[in-house]
Amino acid sequence: MVTRYEGIPFVARFRWSVGELFDEFLNGLRNAKLIASKCSCGYTVLPPRIRCPKCYAKLSRENLVEISGKGVIEAYTRVFFKLDGNGNEIWLDKPVTLAMVKFEGVNSTLVLPYLDTEISEGTEVEVVWRDERSGSVSDILGVRRVKV
């Protein structure tokens, strides 16, 4: 189905398989687990991919590994608006902080909402999960500072 909005050429909605490796990632989220792909070259990518980003080797279910859910903030930004689906900006009541997190044992990064107030690069964080999960990326609420 294709829908046309004024000012935007079109928005297409698709239905397709996410593939076997990303499907395992989503199943992991349902069970509060982070699943990554680890290549024989040593490169680990989250979420899992069918090709290694470093050496382009083919990856399969045998390459899947569970990671801890703890990591370090590499960078962050504050977002002051969101898009409404029609390309229009909607200003938020309060800004949202997004953190680029490098998880333990993973070479790539993932951008997630940061749930605490004070933030800096190098902050150790952990994943915060929704109580009720459905196997969706929204099962991750965000990350917060690791409590010591």
Task: Supply the pTM of this predicted model.
Answer: 0.81
Alpha-carbon distances, residue 38 vs 6, 49, 50, 56, 57 (angstroms): 44, 9, 11, 12, 11
State residue 17's pLDDT score. Answer: 67
Query: Residues near 35 by Cβ (< 8 Å), separated by ≥ 6?
Result: 24, 25, 27, 28, 46, 47, 48, 64, 65, 66, 67
Per-residue pLDDT tens, the chain, 148 aa: give them. 444 445 555 566 666 667 889 999 999 999 999 999 999 999 999 999 999 999 999 999 999 999 999 999 999 999 999 888 888 889 999 999 999 999 999 999 999 999 998 999 999 999 999 999 999 999 999 999 998 7
Q: For residue 110, how many other CB atoms are within 10 A of its CB?
A: 19
State residue 16's pLDDT score. Answer: 65
State residue 10's pLDDT score. Answer: 58
- Distance from C-alpha of 130 to C-alpha of 3, rounded to nearest angstrom: 32
State residue 83's pLDDT score. Answer: 85
By three-state DSSP, how is residue 136 classified?
Answer: coil
